[in-house]
Chain A
Amino acid sequence: MDRVNVEVTPLPGIGVRKEFAIRGGRRIGVVTHRDGRIELIISKSDDPDACLAELPLTVDEAGALANLLGAPQLVAQLTEEHRDLPGIHTRQIPVGPPFDGRTLGDTALRTRTGVSVVAVMRAGQVHPSPTPDFTLTAGDLMVTVGTSEGLDNAVKILKRG
């Protein structure tokens, strides 16, 4: 995997800017304010020094965005590893409101569907091999492995409880 070179620039009195240049040359990154506010920044195409937008994000929004960007990568990686096992699929499943604040054990996914939870993605962080007492939050993404039938059932369970 290519590593990106993240540039960290202190902004005295304001916070820190972390950014990197994407292949097209444009910069993308975040400004983290002292008080924890986060802004997503994307540079302009005609003026690389300036920013097209500074989008203020709440902690939840930043987490959701991080999940969207991070989870497919993990799924792709796992799918690649399971390619030799026919009938086994990897899928990311969002945790619905019924399980907000409840544990992984409460979902009884393995008993009900035969599906294994490989990891839980939250706010862009991977929590690998979660134990049954792992507490879930609505908006978490579960990275699961199982048969396609089992995975379909798991989607329903996590959505409706």
Chain B
Amino acid sequence: MDHTALELIELGAVFFGLGLLGRLAGRIGLSPIPLYLLGGLFFGAGGLVPLSGIEGFTSLAGEVGVVLLLLLLGLEYSAAELVTGLRRSWTAGILDIVLNAAPGAAVALALGWGPVGALVLAGVTYISSSGIVAKVLSDLGRLGNRETPVVLSILVFEDLVMALYLPILTAVLIGVSLVGGLTAVGISVAVLAVVLVVALRYGRFVSALVDSPDREVFLLKVLGAALLVAGFASAMQVSAAVGAFLLGIAISGSTAENATKLLEPLRDLFAAVFFVVFGLNTDPASIPPVLGWAVVLAVSTTLTKLATGWWAARRVGIGSLGRARAGAALVARGEFSIVIAGLAVGYAAVDERLAALATTYVLLMAVIGPVAARVVEPAVRWTRAKRPSTAPAPSAGN
């Protein structure tokens, strides 16, 4: 068979298989991300059906997937929303970092992966999946709930933290000196501040630059701008993904809405490839040895997210049921944990078991998250009914 024909067949089989998995995920009310990862594990190295010849395409497409994931994340928020979110939730945001990064860092140190491994795994366990969380909130009809703004502003804070974290991680991974690392941090803080100010004051000019009434022209301009910014950011060693995120923030108003509509299908396609590639590069045989640790992390970081949400919701005077709901909503981890792990995989400073642990962890958390959000309310009511004396009803009740 012709080389190209084989590649097309392989690629077609992968996409078709992902489509079926996505449909299955929709049926059982799950995020498709864990199934995409499983799909990757199934095909790739050490899996049942090794694929060959399409790595060139899939690895670049996976990179584009990361750029689009972050670009759309940036498009979702306006600069004004980010600034208010930051003001309103910084205390909860800091608690979130401390509580949720610590288990990852501790496990990495316990496994002897050193400070770099600790930094990576801390990021993996810290960041909630805003995609899964937003979907769960809207599926469960909780957008009108009082605790929902608390949850959303924590997510906003996390996304901003990521804009600082990714450049730092990139700098640490390529093993720059302390001064070099500080420079990278300095550059990213400065760039982030400049972008926020530009987006707040002159957002419409950035929007006007990429905007076009013609769909095709608009798509090409936005995608081109995103890849250019990501590429230059990468060349400056500030992480391609962050470049795309910042561009997304700078584009605002109706331009951002139209861009989101146009790019969503592309993001879904390329991000799916990214998850598959991550799965492909993970040997399924490497999972059982780290399964225990993944479970430990899953349990501990479920509890820490619950605590974060509980505390943040209590601060704004929300009842105990609402606090539990806010905590459970934040539990899901997904795309960004994989983005962080994907960035780290392949560097000498990072233990090769990291990919397996991150995969297993995200597989668990992407499933536990939505389930936790669903069962938290009945669970709290049930415990309350069981122990009426120890769990007083909320003051605003009845």
Is A51 an interface residue when CB atoms closer than 8 A count as contact?
A: yes
Is B148 an interface residue when CB atoms closer than 8 A count as contact?
A: yes
Question: Which residues of chain A have C-beta atoms less than 8 A from B201's C-beta?
Answer: none
Q: Are B321 and A17 neighbours in the complex by a CB distance under 8 Å?
A: no
Is A71 an interface residue when CB atoms closer than 8 A count as contact?
A: no
Question: Which residues of chain B have C-beta atoms less than 8 A from A27's C-beta?
Answer: 144, 146
Binds B, one of A5-13, A74-82, A107-115, A153-161: A5-13
Residue of A nearest to B322 (CB): A49
Q: How many A-B residue pairs have CB under 8 A?
A: 80
Q: In the complex the two chains form, what is the Cα distance from A11 to B144 in whole Å?
A: 10
Q: Are A49 and B319 neighbours in the complex by a CB distance under 8 Å?
A: yes
B interface residues, tally (CB under 8 Å): 33
Binds A, one of B149-157, B329-337, B347-355: B149-157
Question: Which residues of chain B have C-beta atoms less than 8 A from A17's C-beta?
Answer: 143-144, 149
Given contacts A12-B155, A13-B152, A14-B134, contact A47 B144 (CB under 8 A): no
Question: Which residues of chain B have C-beta atoms less than 8 A from A48's C-beta?
Answer: 146, 319, 396
Chain A min CB distance to B381 (Å): 9
Q: Are B147 and A49 neighbours in the complex by a CB distance under 8 Å?
A: yes
Q: Are A53 and B321 neighbours in the complex by a CB distance under 8 Å?
A: no
Is B138 an interface residue when CB atoms closer than 8 A count as contact?
A: yes
Q: Which of B146, B149, B156, B325 has the most CB of A within 10 A?
A: B146
Question: Which residues of chain A have C-beta atoms less than 8 A from B318's C-beta?
Answer: 49
Q: In the complex the two chains form, what is the Cα distance from A61 to B153 in whole Å?
A: 31
Given contacts A10-B84, A11-B149, contact A50 B77 (CB under 8 A): no
Residue of B nearest to A9 (CB): B149
Chain A min CB distance to B85 (Å): 6
Q: In the complex the two chains form, what is the Cα distance from A39 to B144 in whole Å?
A: 9
Is A31 an interface residue when CB atoms closer than 8 A count as contact?
A: yes
Q: Are A47 and B322 neighbours in the complex by a CB distance under 8 Å?
A: yes
Residue of A nearest to B313 (CB): A49
Question: Which residues of chain A have C-beta atoms less than 8 A from B394's C-beta?
Answer: 47
What is the 8 Å Cβ interface bit string for chain A, positions 31-61, against chain B (1 contact, 0 not)?
Answer: 1001100010101001111110110000000
Q: Are B81 and A49 neighbours in the complex by a CB distance under 8 Å?
A: no
Is B10 an interface residue when CB atoms closer than 8 A count as contact?
A: no
Task: Give the contacting residue for A54; candidates B81, B141, B153; CB below 8 A.
Answer: B141
Q: Are A46 and B144 neighbours in the complex by a CB distance under 8 Å?
A: no
Is B145 an interface residue when CB atoms closer than 8 A count as contact?
A: yes
Question: Which residues of chain A have C-beta atoms less than 8 A from B142's C-beta?
Answer: 50-51
Q: In the complex the two chains form, what is the Cα distance from A50 to B144 in whole Å?
A: 7
Q: Are B85 and A34 neighbours in the complex by a CB distance under 8 Å?
A: no
Q: In the complex the two chains form, what is the Cα distance from A43 to B81 in whole Å?
A: 25
Is A140 an interface residue when CB atoms closer than 8 A count as contact?
A: no
Interface of B is mostly: helix
Question: Which residues of chain A have C-beta atoms less than 8 A from B7's C-beta?
Answer: none
Chain A min CB distance to B378 (Å): 13
Given contacts A46-B398, A49-B319, contact A13 B149 (CB under 8 A): no
Is B283 an interface residue when CB atoms closer than 8 A count as contact?
A: no
Q: In the complex the two chains form, what is the Cα distance from A50 to B326 in whole Å?
A: 11
Question: Which residues of chain B have C-beta atoms less than 8 A from A34's C-beta?
Answer: 257
Chain B min CB distance to A46 (Å): 6
Q: Which of B82-108 contact A (CB under 8 A)?
A: 82, 84-85
Q: In the complex the two chains form, what is the Cα distance from A50 to B147 in whole Å?
A: 8
Task: Give the contacting residue for A19; candidates B76, B84, B144, B147; CB below 8 A.
Answer: B144
Q: Which of B76, B148, B325, B398 has the most CB of A within 10 A?
A: B148
Q: In the complex the two chains form, what is the Cα distance from A27 to B148 in whole Å?
A: 15
Q: Are A49 and B145 neighbours in the complex by a CB distance under 8 Å?
A: yes
Is A96 an interface residue when CB atoms closer than 8 A count as contact?
A: no
Other A-B pairs beyond A19-B144, A39-B143, A49-B322, 11, CB < 8 Å: A12-B77, A13-B81, A14-B134, A14-B152, A17-B144, A41-B143, A48-B319, A49-B319, A51-B144, A54-B141, A54-B143
- For this complex, 30 residue pairs linking A to B, each with C-beta atoms less than 8 Å apart, are A9-B149, A10-B84, A11-B148, A12-B81, A12-B82, A12-B153, A13-B130, A13-B134, A13-B156, A17-B149, A34-B257, A39-B143, A39-B144, A41-B143, A46-B398, A47-B321, A47-B322, A48-B146, A48-B319, A48-B396, A49-B145, A49-B147, A49-B319, A50-B145, A50-B321, A50-B322, A51-B141, A51-B142, A51-B144, A54-B141
